[in-house]
Amino acid sequence: MGNYNIAVVAGDGIGPEVTKEAMSVLTAIGEKWGHTFTFNEVLAGGCAIDAYGECLPESTLDACKAADAVMLGAVGGPKWDNVANAQRPEKALLGLRKELDLFSNLRPAKIYDALADACPLKAEIVEGGLDILIVRELTGGIYFGERGYREGKYGNEAYDVETYSEMEISRILKNAFEVAMQRGKKLCCVDKANVLESSRLWRKVAEEMKSDYPEVELSYMYIDNAAMQMVRNPKQFDVIVTSNMFGDILSDEASMITGSIGLLPSASLNGTNKGMYEPIHGSAPDIAGQNKANPVAAILSVAMMLQYTFHLSAEAEAIENAVTAVLEAGYRTGDIYSEGMIAVGTKEMGAEILARI
Ligand code: NAD
Protein backbone atom coordinates (compact mmCIF):
# COMPACT_ATOMS: atom_id res chain seq x y z
CA MET A 1 0.00 0.00 0.00
CA GLY A 2 1.37 3.36 -0.96
CA ASN A 3 0.69 7.00 -1.64
CA TYR A 4 1.54 8.22 -5.09
CA ASN A 5 1.41 11.78 -6.40
CA ILE A 6 0.78 12.15 -10.09
CA ALA A 7 0.94 15.37 -12.08
CA VAL A 8 -1.67 15.18 -14.83
CA VAL A 9 -1.04 17.24 -17.96
CA ALA A 10 -4.19 16.49 -19.93
CA GLY A 11 -3.33 18.99 -22.68
CA ASP A 12 -5.40 19.68 -25.77
CA GLY A 13 -7.84 17.99 -28.15
CA ILE A 14 -8.60 14.42 -27.06
CA GLY A 15 -5.94 14.67 -24.31
CA PRO A 16 -8.42 15.53 -21.52
CA GLU A 17 -10.90 12.87 -22.70
CA VAL A 18 -8.43 10.00 -22.64
CA THR A 19 -6.58 11.03 -19.47
CA LYS A 20 -9.90 11.18 -17.62
CA GLU A 21 -10.48 7.49 -18.37
CA ALA A 22 -6.89 6.65 -17.38
CA MET A 23 -7.29 8.43 -14.03
CA SER A 24 -10.52 6.53 -13.34
CA VAL A 25 -8.74 3.25 -13.98
CA LEU A 26 -5.90 4.23 -11.60
CA THR A 27 -8.40 5.19 -8.93
CA ALA A 28 -10.04 1.78 -9.28
CA ILE A 29 -6.64 0.09 -8.96
CA GLY A 30 -6.03 2.13 -5.81
CA GLU A 31 -9.35 1.04 -4.32
CA LYS A 32 -8.68 -2.60 -5.05
CA TRP A 33 -5.07 -2.73 -3.80
CA GLY A 34 -5.27 -0.08 -1.07
CA HIS A 35 -3.09 2.58 -2.74
CA THR A 36 -3.84 6.28 -2.82
CA PHE A 37 -3.25 8.04 -6.13
CA THR A 38 -3.43 11.81 -5.82
CA PHE A 39 -3.82 13.76 -9.04
CA ASN A 40 -2.55 17.30 -9.51
CA GLU A 41 -4.02 18.59 -12.78
CA VAL A 42 -1.91 21.24 -14.50
CA LEU A 43 -1.82 22.95 -17.89
CA ALA A 44 0.68 22.64 -20.74
CA GLY A 45 0.42 23.03 -24.49
CA GLY A 46 -2.23 25.06 -26.27
CA CYS A 47 -4.51 25.36 -23.24
CA ALA A 48 -1.59 26.84 -21.26
CA ILE A 49 -0.93 29.36 -24.04
CA ASP A 50 -4.57 30.43 -23.75
CA ALA A 51 -4.47 30.65 -19.95
CA TYR A 52 -0.93 31.92 -19.27
CA GLY A 53 0.51 33.01 -22.62
CA GLU A 54 3.15 30.25 -22.54
CA CYS A 55 3.11 26.55 -23.41
CA LEU A 56 4.98 25.35 -20.30
CA PRO A 57 4.36 27.65 -17.32
CA GLU A 58 6.79 27.51 -14.40
CA SER A 59 3.98 26.31 -12.10
CA THR A 60 3.36 23.30 -14.37
CA LEU A 61 7.04 22.45 -14.46
CA ASP A 62 7.28 22.73 -10.67
CA ALA A 63 4.25 20.45 -10.23
CA CYS A 64 5.77 17.86 -12.60
CA LYS A 65 9.12 18.01 -10.79
CA ALA A 66 7.42 17.59 -7.41
CA ALA A 67 5.27 14.63 -8.53
CA ASP A 68 6.28 10.95 -8.39
CA ALA A 69 5.24 10.57 -12.04
CA VAL A 70 3.64 12.57 -14.83
CA MET A 71 0.67 11.50 -16.94
CA LEU A 72 0.38 13.40 -20.21
CA GLY A 73 -2.52 13.37 -22.68
CA ALA A 74 -1.52 15.19 -25.86
CA VAL A 75 -0.76 18.77 -26.85
CA GLY A 76 -1.28 20.92 -29.92
CA GLY A 77 -3.94 21.64 -32.48
CA PRO A 78 -4.78 23.94 -35.39
CA LYS A 79 -5.79 26.78 -33.06
CA TRP A 80 -2.13 27.28 -32.11
CA ASP A 81 -0.52 26.53 -35.49
CA ASN A 82 0.46 30.17 -35.96
CA VAL A 83 1.98 30.70 -32.52
CA ALA A 84 5.66 31.77 -32.58
CA ASN A 85 8.05 28.81 -32.66
CA ALA A 86 9.40 29.07 -29.10
CA GLN A 87 5.87 28.81 -27.69
CA ARG A 88 4.47 26.09 -29.98
CA PRO A 89 2.43 23.67 -27.85
CA GLU A 90 4.75 20.80 -28.79
CA LYS A 91 7.67 22.73 -27.21
CA ALA A 92 6.08 21.92 -23.84
CA LEU A 93 6.98 18.26 -24.40
CA LEU A 94 10.59 19.04 -25.20
CA GLY A 95 10.76 21.31 -22.15
CA LEU A 96 9.35 18.63 -19.86
CA ARG A 97 11.73 15.97 -21.21
CA LYS A 98 14.71 18.28 -20.76
CA GLU A 99 13.80 19.63 -17.32
CA LEU A 100 12.92 16.19 -15.94
CA ASP A 101 16.00 14.66 -17.60
CA LEU A 102 13.93 11.99 -19.35
CA PHE A 103 16.61 10.33 -21.47
CA SER A 104 15.03 6.92 -21.91
CA ASN A 105 11.95 6.44 -24.09
CA LEU A 106 10.08 3.14 -23.84
CA ARG A 107 7.73 2.28 -26.68
CA PRO A 108 5.99 -1.09 -26.61
CA ALA A 109 4.51 -2.52 -29.79
CA LYS A 110 2.02 -5.24 -29.06
CA ILE A 111 -0.45 -7.07 -31.26
CA TYR A 112 -3.57 -8.39 -29.54
CA ASP A 113 -5.00 -11.63 -30.90
CA ALA A 114 -8.42 -9.95 -31.08
CA LEU A 115 -6.99 -7.27 -33.39
CA ALA A 116 -4.62 -9.39 -35.45
CA ASP A 117 -6.55 -8.36 -38.60
CA ALA A 118 -5.42 -4.74 -38.16
CA CYS A 119 -1.78 -5.77 -38.63
CA PRO A 120 -0.63 -5.08 -42.21
CA LEU A 121 1.74 -8.08 -42.15
CA LYS A 122 0.75 -11.58 -43.25
CA ALA A 123 -1.04 -13.52 -40.52
CA GLU A 124 1.64 -16.22 -40.29
CA ILE A 125 4.33 -13.61 -39.48
CA VAL A 126 2.60 -12.43 -36.31
CA GLU A 127 0.75 -15.61 -35.40
CA GLY A 128 0.58 -16.07 -31.63
CA GLY A 129 0.88 -12.33 -30.97
CA LEU A 130 3.73 -9.87 -30.89
CA ASP A 131 5.22 -8.02 -27.93
CA ILE A 132 8.27 -5.81 -28.51
CA LEU A 133 9.63 -2.98 -26.41
CA ILE A 134 11.86 -0.35 -28.00
CA VAL A 135 14.11 1.63 -25.65
CA ARG A 136 15.17 4.79 -27.46
CA GLU A 137 17.80 7.26 -26.22
CA LEU A 138 15.90 10.52 -26.12
CA THR A 139 18.12 13.45 -25.22
CA GLY A 140 21.41 12.89 -27.07
CA GLY A 141 22.81 11.98 -30.47
CA ILE A 142 22.43 13.74 -33.78
CA TYR A 143 19.19 15.58 -32.91
CA PHE A 144 21.05 17.48 -30.18
CA GLY A 145 24.59 17.48 -31.59
CA GLU A 146 26.67 20.21 -33.12
CA ARG A 147 25.17 21.52 -36.34
CA GLY A 148 25.61 24.29 -38.83
CA TYR A 149 26.59 25.42 -42.30
CA ARG A 150 30.10 25.77 -43.66
CA GLU A 151 32.02 26.09 -46.87
CA GLY A 152 32.88 22.58 -48.05
CA LYS A 153 34.53 20.90 -51.03
CA TYR A 154 31.46 21.49 -53.21
CA GLY A 155 30.48 24.89 -51.81
CA ASN A 156 27.93 25.57 -49.10
CA GLU A 157 27.13 22.50 -46.98
CA ALA A 158 25.20 21.64 -43.83
CA TYR A 159 26.23 19.20 -41.09
CA ASP A 160 24.73 17.50 -38.01
CA VAL A 161 26.99 15.58 -35.66
CA GLU A 162 26.17 12.34 -33.84
CA THR A 163 27.90 12.36 -30.45
CA TYR A 164 27.42 9.95 -27.54
CA SER A 165 29.38 9.94 -24.31
CA GLU A 166 30.05 6.75 -22.36
CA MET A 167 27.87 8.20 -19.59
CA GLU A 168 24.90 8.67 -21.94
CA ILE A 169 25.31 5.19 -23.38
CA SER A 170 25.73 3.38 -20.06
CA ARG A 171 22.69 5.00 -18.44
CA ILE A 172 20.36 4.08 -21.32
CA LEU A 173 21.83 0.56 -21.51
CA LYS A 174 21.35 0.13 -17.75
CA ASN A 175 17.75 1.07 -18.20
CA ALA A 176 17.34 -1.33 -21.14
CA PHE A 177 19.00 -4.24 -19.29
CA GLU A 178 16.71 -3.66 -16.30
CA VAL A 179 13.61 -3.53 -18.48
CA ALA A 180 14.73 -6.72 -20.23
CA MET A 181 15.04 -8.38 -16.81
CA GLN A 182 11.36 -7.57 -16.21
CA ARG A 183 10.36 -9.06 -19.57
CA GLY A 184 11.71 -11.85 -21.80
CA LYS A 185 15.40 -11.27 -20.85
CA LYS A 186 16.48 -10.69 -24.46
CA LEU A 187 18.15 -7.41 -25.41
CA CYS A 188 19.12 -6.42 -28.95
CA CYS A 189 21.35 -3.39 -29.36
CA VAL A 190 20.59 -1.82 -32.74
CA ASP A 191 23.31 0.34 -34.33
CA LYS A 192 25.49 0.92 -37.37
CA ALA A 193 28.76 -0.28 -35.91
CA ASN A 194 30.11 -1.25 -39.34
CA VAL A 195 30.21 2.47 -40.22
CA LEU A 196 29.82 4.70 -37.16
CA GLU A 197 32.42 5.26 -34.45
CA SER A 198 29.66 6.22 -31.98
CA SER A 199 27.97 2.84 -32.58
CA ARG A 200 31.25 1.07 -31.81
CA LEU A 201 31.34 2.89 -28.47
CA TRP A 202 27.78 1.65 -27.76
CA ARG A 203 28.97 -1.92 -28.34
CA LYS A 204 32.06 -1.46 -26.16
CA VAL A 205 29.97 -0.14 -23.26
CA ALA A 206 27.39 -2.92 -23.71
CA GLU A 207 30.15 -5.55 -23.60
CA GLU A 208 31.48 -4.03 -20.38
CA MET A 209 28.05 -4.04 -18.77
CA LYS A 210 26.69 -7.41 -19.81
CA SER A 211 28.33 -9.34 -16.96
CA ASP A 212 26.14 -7.33 -14.54
CA TYR A 213 23.09 -8.93 -16.20
CA PRO A 214 24.10 -12.56 -16.79
CA GLU A 215 20.49 -13.64 -17.31
CA VAL A 216 19.99 -11.27 -20.23
CA GLU A 217 20.82 -12.58 -23.67
CA LEU A 218 22.53 -9.64 -25.42
CA SER A 219 22.76 -9.41 -29.21
CA TYR A 220 23.62 -6.74 -31.78
CA MET A 221 22.03 -5.88 -35.09
CA TYR A 222 22.68 -3.21 -37.72
CA ILE A 223 19.83 -0.74 -38.12
CA ASP A 224 19.24 -1.58 -41.79
CA ASN A 225 18.86 -5.26 -40.96
CA ALA A 226 16.67 -4.43 -37.92
CA ALA A 227 14.29 -2.37 -40.09
CA MET A 228 14.00 -5.38 -42.40
CA GLN A 229 13.65 -7.96 -39.60
CA MET A 230 10.89 -5.85 -38.04
CA VAL A 231 8.60 -6.75 -40.97
CA ARG A 232 10.14 -10.12 -41.82
CA ASN A 233 10.29 -11.77 -38.41
CA PRO A 234 9.34 -9.30 -35.66
CA LYS A 235 8.68 -12.06 -33.12
CA GLN A 236 12.45 -12.58 -32.71
CA PHE A 237 12.63 -9.32 -30.71
CA ASP A 238 11.94 -8.76 -27.03
CA VAL A 239 13.67 -5.51 -25.98
CA ILE A 240 15.54 -3.34 -28.50
CA VAL A 241 17.83 -0.53 -27.33
CA THR A 242 19.04 2.10 -29.74
CA SER A 243 20.09 5.69 -30.34
CA ASN A 244 17.78 8.67 -30.67
CA MET A 245 17.50 8.78 -34.46
CA PHE A 246 17.42 5.01 -35.10
CA GLY A 247 14.84 4.66 -32.30
CA ASP A 248 12.70 7.43 -33.76
CA ILE A 249 12.37 5.54 -37.03
CA LEU A 250 12.25 1.99 -35.70
CA SER A 251 9.58 2.74 -33.07
CA ASP A 252 7.28 4.23 -35.70
CA GLU A 253 7.80 1.20 -37.91
CA ALA A 254 7.02 -1.11 -34.98
CA SER A 255 3.89 0.85 -34.04
CA MET A 256 2.65 0.71 -37.63
CA ILE A 257 2.72 -3.09 -37.67
CA THR A 258 0.42 -3.20 -34.64
CA GLY A 259 -2.27 -1.45 -36.68
CA SER A 260 -3.58 1.29 -34.38
CA ILE A 261 -2.03 4.33 -32.75
CA GLY A 262 -5.00 4.53 -30.40
CA LEU A 263 -3.68 1.50 -28.51
CA LEU A 264 -0.03 2.33 -27.94
CA PRO A 265 1.37 3.80 -24.72
CA SER A 266 4.85 5.13 -24.03
CA ALA A 267 7.09 6.07 -21.13
CA SER A 268 10.02 8.45 -20.80
CA LEU A 269 12.24 7.80 -17.78
CA ASN A 270 15.09 9.50 -15.96
CA GLY A 271 17.95 7.81 -14.09
CA THR A 272 15.83 7.05 -11.03
CA ASN A 273 12.85 5.65 -12.95
CA LYS A 274 10.77 8.76 -12.48
CA GLY A 275 8.80 9.06 -15.66
CA MET A 276 6.37 10.80 -17.92
CA TYR A 277 3.74 8.50 -19.40
CA GLU A 278 1.74 9.30 -22.52
CA PRO A 279 -0.08 7.73 -25.43
CA ILE A 280 1.96 7.88 -28.66
CA HIS A 281 -0.90 9.57 -30.52
CA GLY A 282 -1.41 13.31 -30.77
CA SER A 283 -4.36 15.51 -29.85
CA ALA A 284 -6.49 14.28 -32.79
CA PRO A 285 -8.33 17.59 -33.36
CA ASP A 286 -10.54 15.91 -35.99
CA ILE A 287 -12.34 13.83 -33.33
CA ALA A 288 -11.81 15.96 -30.19
CA GLY A 289 -14.80 16.54 -27.92
CA GLN A 290 -16.94 13.91 -29.68
CA ASN A 291 -16.47 10.92 -27.38
CA LYS A 292 -14.74 9.11 -30.26
CA ALA A 293 -11.15 8.81 -29.04
CA ASN A 294 -9.77 5.44 -28.07
CA PRO A 295 -8.66 5.73 -24.41
CA VAL A 296 -6.69 2.46 -24.43
CA ALA A 297 -3.28 4.04 -25.16
CA ALA A 298 -3.74 6.41 -22.21
CA ILE A 299 -4.96 3.61 -19.96
CA LEU A 300 -2.01 1.40 -20.91
CA SER A 301 0.27 4.38 -20.23
CA VAL A 302 -0.77 4.30 -16.58
CA ALA A 303 -0.16 0.54 -16.57
CA MET A 304 3.41 1.35 -17.65
CA MET A 305 3.59 3.93 -14.85
CA LEU A 306 2.62 1.27 -12.32
CA GLN A 307 5.23 -1.10 -13.66
CA TYR A 308 8.24 1.13 -14.33
CA THR A 309 7.99 3.93 -11.76
CA PHE A 310 5.99 2.40 -8.91
CA HIS A 311 7.09 -1.23 -9.44
CA LEU A 312 3.54 -2.51 -8.96
CA SER A 313 3.62 -5.34 -11.48
CA ALA A 314 0.44 -7.14 -10.40
CA GLU A 315 -1.56 -3.92 -10.63
CA ALA A 316 -0.06 -3.14 -14.06
CA GLU A 317 -0.93 -6.62 -15.25
CA ALA A 318 -4.51 -6.21 -14.03
CA ILE A 319 -4.93 -3.22 -16.36
CA GLU A 320 -3.37 -5.04 -19.30
CA ASN A 321 -5.59 -8.06 -18.70
CA ALA A 322 -8.68 -5.84 -18.49
CA VAL A 323 -7.81 -4.24 -21.85
CA THR A 324 -7.25 -7.64 -23.45
CA ALA A 325 -10.57 -8.90 -22.06
CA VAL A 326 -12.48 -5.88 -23.40
CA LEU A 327 -10.97 -6.31 -26.86
CA GLU A 328 -11.76 -10.02 -26.77
CA ALA A 329 -15.34 -9.22 -25.77
CA GLY A 330 -15.60 -7.24 -29.03
CA TYR A 331 -15.76 -3.62 -27.80
CA ARG A 332 -14.27 -1.22 -30.34
CA THR A 333 -13.86 2.54 -30.66
CA GLY A 334 -14.10 3.89 -34.23
CA ASP A 335 -10.37 3.68 -34.97
CA ILE A 336 -10.30 -0.11 -34.50
CA TYR A 337 -13.90 -0.94 -35.43
CA SER A 338 -14.65 -3.77 -37.84
CA GLU A 339 -17.97 -5.28 -38.85
CA GLY A 340 -19.76 -7.38 -36.26
CA MET A 341 -18.01 -5.73 -33.33
CA ILE A 342 -19.62 -3.59 -30.61
CA ALA A 343 -19.13 0.12 -31.40
CA VAL A 344 -18.48 2.26 -28.32
CA GLY A 345 -17.20 5.74 -27.50
CA THR A 346 -14.39 6.92 -25.23
CA LYS A 347 -16.42 6.83 -22.01
CA GLU A 348 -18.00 3.45 -22.69
CA MET A 349 -14.63 1.90 -23.57
CA GLY A 350 -13.20 3.30 -20.33
CA ALA A 351 -16.15 1.95 -18.34
CA GLU A 352 -15.81 -1.55 -19.85
CA ILE A 353 -12.11 -1.65 -18.88
CA LEU A 354 -12.88 -0.29 -15.42
CA ALA A 355 -15.50 -2.99 -14.89
CA ARG A 356 -12.86 -5.68 -15.50
CA ILE A 357 -10.24 -4.39 -13.03
P1 NAD B 1 -2.76 12.50 -34.20
O2 NAD B 1 -2.10 11.33 -33.58
O3 NAD B 1 -3.33 13.50 -33.31
O4 NAD B 1 -3.90 11.99 -35.20
C5 NAD B 1 -3.63 11.18 -36.34
C6 NAD B 1 -4.91 10.42 -36.73
O7 NAD B 1 -5.15 9.38 -35.79
C8 NAD B 1 -6.17 11.27 -36.70
O9 NAD B 1 -7.03 10.87 -37.73
C10 NAD B 1 -6.80 10.98 -35.36
O11 NAD B 1 -8.18 11.13 -35.34
C12 NAD B 1 -6.39 9.52 -35.13
N13 NAD B 1 -6.21 9.24 -33.70
C14 NAD B 1 -5.18 9.64 -32.93
N15 NAD B 1 -5.34 9.22 -31.67
C16 NAD B 1 -6.51 8.53 -31.64
C17 NAD B 1 -7.24 7.87 -30.62
N18 NAD B 1 -6.80 7.80 -29.35
N19 NAD B 1 -8.40 7.28 -30.94
C20 NAD B 1 -8.87 7.32 -32.20
N21 NAD B 1 -8.23 7.92 -33.21
C22 NAD B 1 -7.06 8.54 -32.94
O23 NAD B 1 -1.64 13.17 -35.15
P24 NAD B 1 -1.72 14.52 -36.01
O25 NAD B 1 -3.08 14.65 -36.64
O26 NAD B 1 -0.53 14.49 -36.86
O27 NAD B 1 -1.53 15.68 -34.97
C28 NAD B 1 -2.60 16.44 -34.37
C29 NAD B 1 -2.02 17.40 -33.35
O30 NAD B 1 -1.38 16.67 -32.29
C31 NAD B 1 -0.92 18.31 -33.91
O32 NAD B 1 -1.06 19.58 -33.33
C33 NAD B 1 0.36 17.64 -33.48
O34 NAD B 1 1.42 18.56 -33.38
C35 NAD B 1 -0.04 17.10 -32.13
N36 NAD B 1 0.76 15.95 -31.67
C37 NAD B 1 0.98 15.87 -30.34
C38 NAD B 1 1.67 14.79 -29.84
C39 NAD B 1 1.86 14.71 -28.36
O40 NAD B 1 1.29 15.48 -27.63
N41 NAD B 1 2.65 13.77 -27.87
C42 NAD B 1 2.09 13.76 -30.68
C43 NAD B 1 1.81 13.84 -32.05
C44 NAD B 1 1.12 14.95 -32.53
**Residue 296 sits in the same domain as residue 342:** yes
**Residue 5 sits in the same domain as residue 58:** yes
Residues 6+ apart with CB under 8 A from 106: 133, 134, 135, 136, 179, 266, 267, 268, 269, 304, 308
Domain count, the chain: 2
In this predicted model, which residue has the larger pLDDT, 1 or 33? 33
Q: What pLDDT digit, counting tens, does each position of 257-304 carry?
A: 988 889 999 999 999 989 999 999 999 999 999 999 999 999 999 999
Domain-ending residue, one of 206, 232, 258: 258
For 251, the domain range is 120-258
CATH number at residue 179: 3.40.718.10
Residue 263, in any domain of the structure: no
Residue 112, in any domain of the structure: no
Residue 267, in any domain of the structure: no
- Residues lining ligand 1, CB < 6 A? 14, 18, 74-77, 90, 93, 261-262, 278, 281-287, 293-294, 297, 333, 335
C-alpha 83 to ligand 1 mean position (Å): 19
**Residue 143 sits in the same domain as residue 57:** no
Q: What pLDDT digit, counting tens, does each position of 176-226 carry?
A: 999 999 999 999 999 999 999 999 999 999 999 999 999 999 999 999 999
Residue 264, in any domain of the structure: no
* Alpha helices per DSSP H over 34-73: 46-52, 58-66
**Residue 250 sits in the same domain as residue 283:** no
Is 248 labeled as catalytic in the residue annotation? yes
- Whole-angstrom Cα distance, residue 349 to residue 291? 10
- Whole-angstrom Cα distance, residue 264 to residue 257? 11
**Residue 226 sits in the same domain as residue 134:** yes
**Residue 252 sits in the same domain as residue 286:** no
Candidates 52, 143, 220, 222; catalytic one: 143
Q: Which residue puts its alpha carbon closest to atom 42 of ligand 1? A: 282
Domain-ending residue, one of 258, 293, 324: 258
Mean pLDDT of the chain: 96
